[in-house]
Amino acid sequence: MPTDTNSSPLSKKMLWAGYIMAAVPVLLLLMSGVMKVMNPPFVTEGFVRLGYSENLAQGIGIVELLCVVLYVVPQTAVLGAILLTGYLGGATASHVRIGEPFHMAVLLGVVIWGSLYLRDARLRALLPLRS
């Protein structure tokens, strides 16, 4: 079992729970990024509705996919989570600005960090829930 000198051992149950929990936002964000890169008409309509130029979709999709890749790789998962938090913050702001529901982006961010908390002993040592 992987351990860190400043925290408790990482159990296999916590590790697998973290991976399973991470699968949902990873799959949703991968699908979202691929759709932006492919740029079908409904993506263009969504960008225009949100007030963005339609030619930004592919660039934003590439950034989204790169952030997801960083999150999936264990050595860069914390950086990926930080970047995805910023990305989802922008999505939240865009939806709030036009009066649309924004709870999905917030929920994805919570699941991203929750799954990382379960998988990374260093993060649990940095943010202990118990003292």
Domain ranges of the chain: 12-126
* Top-confidence residue, 4 or 84: 84
pLDDT for 9: 63
CA distance 44 to 32: 13
What distances in angstroms separate CA 47 from CA 31, 67, 76, 85, 109, one per listed residue?
Answer: 16, 20, 30, 20, 21
| Separation between Cα atoms, residue 55 and residue 62, nearest integer Å | 13
pLDDT in tens, 55-104: 999 999 999 999 999 999 999 999 999 999 999 999 999 999 999 999 99
Whole-structure pTM value: 0.86
Kindly list the distances between the CA atom of residue 124 and the CA atoms of 71, 108, 117, in Å, as whole numbers in the listed order.
Answer: 17, 19, 6
pLDDT on residue 131:
58
In the predicted model, is pLDDT for residue 126 greater than 50? yes
- Collapsing DSSP to helix, strand or coil, 113 comes out as helix
